[in-house]
Structure 1
């Protein structure tokens, strides 16, 4: 596993000294505490702490101190209602703190979600590890010809081998120079905060990331989507598995009303109605651009 010996020792110590608590506990998430779920070649996601559960969402919505006469079925129905009608505040009552190890270029995408608290490993004070993300062969793809920010077909044969060798060689060479610059064998060396500028963005960093459930769902809706970049999507998928165990009612509602739903424009809805009435609608008569029409066709084919 990509955990360091020091991190594993910390986990072992914490697991050896469980504490009683009066706070809300999620049995599903308790099983995930401190467990490192491996992602990519050297990365991981692990739960450090959390607050709240499905019941906490309902408690906030009802502003009550207990379940009262409400049943579990009523809780699930309430959560689905809140999700369906975009009542987000009750979901903000739950929080999750994760320890994530990820490539820097993935972190730069991730940090665009600004509604979270982040503390990242500092290369000003510490020396970065010699760990780089090298894509698996099936992930080394050419540029998409229809999407400027997406991938096309996987590279094959000699071209794939050539690109893979470049990635490995450049990563190792950059780290060799990084080590040389920060000083060895009594040399004064360059300051770490300057030497780090030469490192590639596929080097791994780490951070603690704390977010409330509403904003976490927003992150997952975008990053667990099939159109998201693979390298961040696999982290989102790992977090989805964790959240499903933490707040099963809320996650099922999120799956149904966010992940598994589609958004349609007014023109798309109009075209759908016309089609249901038997009208033959074309892109020219739809009022949509060629790209919008293509997206609409994708929605219809997947429905």
Structure 2
């Protein structure tokens, strides 16, 4: 049997991007055909902050980032909820999937405390983590063995993959404009100074944090205005 690999990483990488902070300004000033390229940085920051504060969101839609991802399927499904994006995912219908499965590292918060709508997650006990680890490893190995057996018997990949659990990794690309990206970040990160507190699942927050790091590097003024104005998408 092919050895399977257990991972705990949430991989997000920059693939491509379109535009910059100056383009946001240019799109906002379309009627007078002005650009942000010849403005002082303080003036650019002030204008982008105005757009963010007053929630003039359309100019941010003209800039976009394409991310490459490697995620367990249960995280990918949460990403897919943000429908204002374009997703190209590797297909288990046309290619044999790789034997890579998510196994959370020790210390990951895993016990829900409190009632629905007002709960938090705590670390849990050593015994709880060991039980989770044993069940995850055993289930993943057994499912992978069944998957390989079905392929060997001639069952089509598109059907054989249905026996695999949602902790198997998938990969692909997602392109999202900045307005939609800020909406994603407002929901999928938990920051104390946010106007509306997010309550993301642990793994998707790791994904969002990596997206935000890339966003901040490529669009520093837009990101700073987003953060300064309570992390509310315009």
TM-score by length of 1: 0.67
Partner of 2:60: 91
Q: Could you tell me how far apart the structure 1 residues matched to 2:123 and 2:221 are?
A: 38
Q: Map Cα deviations across residues 260-298 of structure 1 (whole Å, 9 max, x no partner).
A: x7xxxxxxxxxxxxxxxxxxxxxxxxxxxxxxxxxxxxx
Tell whether the 8 Å contact from 1:141 to 1:153 is kept in structure 2 after alignment.
yes
Q: Map Cα deviations across residues 177-198 of structure 1 (whole Å, 9 max, x no partner).
A: 1011111xxx4x2111000111
The residue correspondences of 1:63-212 to structure 2 (distance < 5 A) are 63=30, 64=33, 66-67=35-36, 70-139=39-108, 141-147=110-116, 151-183=120-152, 187=153, 189-212=154-177
Tell whether the 8 Å contact from 1:178 to 1:199 is kept in structure 2 after alignment.
yes
SS at match of 1:97: strand
Partner of 2:18: 51
Compared CA separation, residues 232 and 150, structure 1 to 2 (3 A): farther
SS at match of 1:70: coil
Partner of 1:286: none
Partner of 1:252: 224
| CA displacement at 1:212 relative to structure 2 | 0.7
Partner of 2:213: 241
Q: What are the ranges of 5 or more consecutive residues in structure 2 without an aligned counterpart? A: 1-6, 191-197
Tell whether the 8 Å contact from 2:25 to 2:35 is kept in structure 1 after alignment.
no
TM-score by length of 2: 0.86
| CA displacement at 1:143 relative to structure 2 | 2.7
Compared CA separation, residues 109 and 161, structure 1 to 2 (3 A): same
Tell whether the 8 Å contact from 1:47 to 1:99 is kept in structure 2 after alignment.
yes
Higher strand share: 2
Q: Map Cα deviations across residues 56-90 of structure 1 (whole Å, 9 max, x no partner).
A: 00111112254476322211101000000110011
Tell whether the 8 Å contact from 1:150 to 1:229 is kept in structure 2 after alignment.
no
| CA displacement at 1:217 relative to structure 2 | 0.7
- Structure with the greater relative contact order (CA < 8 A, sep ≥ 6): 1 or 2? 2
Structure number, greater radius of gyration: 1
Q: Could you tell me how far apart the structure 1 residues matched to 2:187 and 2:37 are?
A: 37
Q: Once structures 1 and 2 are overlaid, which stretch shifts more, 94-103 or 222-231?
A: 222-231
Q: Could you tell me how far apart the structure 2 residues matched to 1:162 and 1:156 are?
A: 10
SS at match of 1:258: coil
Q: How many pairs are equivalent?
A: 217
Partner of 1:280: none
Q: Map Cα deviations across residues 112-135 of structure 1 (whole Å, 9 max, x no partner).
A: 100011111100001111111101
SS at match of 1:138: coil
| CA displacement at 1:149 relative to structure 2 | 8.9
